[in-house]
Amino acid sequence: MANKTILVVGGGISGLSAALEAAEAGRDVVIVEKNPYLGGRVTQLHQYFPKLCPPNCGLEINFKRLRENLSIKFYTSAEVESISGQKGNFDVKVKLNPTFINANCTACGKCTEVCPVEIPNAFNYGLDKTKAANLPHQFAFPLKFTIDTVACQGASCGKCLEVCEYKAIDLGMQPETVSLNVGAIVWATGWNPYDPSKIGYYGFGRNKNVITNVMLERMAVLAGPTGGKIVRPSDGKAPETIAFVQCAGSRDENHQPYCSQVCCMATLKQTTYIREQYPDAKIYVFYIDIRAMGKYEDFYARVQKDENVIFIKGKVGEITEDASGTLELEVEDQYAGKVIKQQADLVVLATGMAPPTRDTGVPVGFDVTDKDGFVVTSAAEVGISGAGCAKKPSEVSGSVRDATAAALQAIQGTVGGGN
């Protein structure tokens, strides 16, 4: 008899969707999420294309579904260490990482108030600072504080320990291991932004005003690091000319050969953020092909109507920054048939999706990823269904669709021992 419990690894929009879909069909589900909160990358987005609506609305519905469903259990700050067994009967070891804060936490916030240690805010891609004791973000679910165990000064400081009235702080918390037995696994560990520092000639890190598309998302959020203002990191000034570099690391044999699928639409969306704040700013989009699939074409057509958004087919080469923070891009303009130079106040790299499984694989003892690191479709046959961006680059609705399919595959994997 197969175990009917389903393990979902990754609690982003794909994992969350897969878990909810299976649970609402009556299955027991366990989610294992690496972050201290659920929701994954989409929690860091300002708006979704093409509706320009905030991701929080759908997340709230999903969290409500989760709160009201007794069949779902989840672990945050947790990761899968090993998987053994086979479809219908997997033994899984899950490591629970210490957060120094236990279930007593009421999110009252006193620990953050007294914490003396400032660290770069990873949620905002380092655009601002947070405390070692922090709430990862305002919309965090579960609403629970966490402590950066590396930055924390420990018992020698202990200020948070003193102020917490609820005995929620445990600076000696150790990692724990939990063993699970499940029938099927959905692998939904999502994506990381491709590391822009690997594209040396763009000078990310060296050129202060070269940022990535995910950073721009954070800047656009009202509750974000810049209070919703899109500004130059070097001096906080409003940019007058902004350049988007498409396929930054994608469709490139030296980096990621595949197309990351979302970056064109993400850039089109981001031009609307800029336009809303700066009605006169000039925006240049350097691209190979604009891939606005299906009805997204309408959105492309809408942005094309904006006279201040200029599309240039061409590959961006070297980017340099002068002392005033102004950038110069060398572009092989395919229309003009020559190399042109374009000045900009802010450059946004449309970096693509890199699956974390490229480096980590899936700890199952055999290979279930392709050469790019994505979980292969056929892995579902052995009980491990990839879902969302762990399987292929995809936008949110595509990921949810795929996650819903993965939920069914997982259920199939638990029907009488498979098939």
> Could you say whether residue 310 binds other proteins (CB under 8 A)?
no
- Indicate which single residue of 165, 280, 307, 359 sits in contact with other proteins (rule: CB under 8 A): 165
Q: Does 223 bind other proteins (CB under 8 A)?
A: yes
Residues 172-201 that bind other proteins (CB under 8 A): none
Residues 104-123 that bind other proteins (CB under 8 A): 104, 106-108
* Beta-ladder partners of 353: 193
Cα of 266 vs its chain's centroid, Å: 13
Radius of gyration of the chain measured on its C-alpha atoms:
23
Identify residues 329-348 at the interface with other proteins (CB under 8 A). Answer: 334-335, 337
User: According to CB under 8 A, which residues from 45 to 74 bind other proteins?
Assistant: 46, 48-49, 51-65, 67-69
User: Which residues within the stretch 236-275 sit at the binding site for other proteins (CB under 8 A)?
Assistant: 251, 257-261
For residue 293, the minimal CB distance to other proteins (Å) is: 5
Nearer to other proteins, 20 or 160 (CB): 20
Residues between 8 and 47 with contacts to other proteins, criterion CB under 8 A? 13, 17, 20-22, 24-26, 46
Q: Which of 186, 141, 189, 191 minimizes the C-alpha distance to 21?
A: 186
Nearest to 248 by CA among 211, 298, 303, 207: 211
Handedness of CA 187, 193, 199, 205 (dihedral sign): negative
* 217 forms part of the interface with other proteins (CB under 8 A): no
Q: How far is the CB of 226 from other proteins (least distance, A)?
A: 13
Tokens of 382: 């052995």
Distances (CA, A) of 114 to 103, 126, 136, 234: 20, 21, 16, 30
Distance CA 41, CA 191 (A): 8
Beta carbon of residue 322, minimum distance to other proteins (angstroms, whole number): 32
- 105: tokens are 């936490």
Q: Is the peptide bond before 98 cis (omega within 30 degrees of 0)?
A: no
Question: Within 10 A of 71 (CB to CB), how many other CB atoms are there?
Answer: 18
Is residue 297 involved in binding other proteins (CB under 8 A)?
yes
Site for other proteins, residues 375 to 394, rule: CB under 8 A:
376-377, 392-394
Tell me: does residue 87 bind other proteins (CB under 8 A).
no
Interface residue with other proteins among 32, 292, 354, 368 (CB under 8 A) is 292
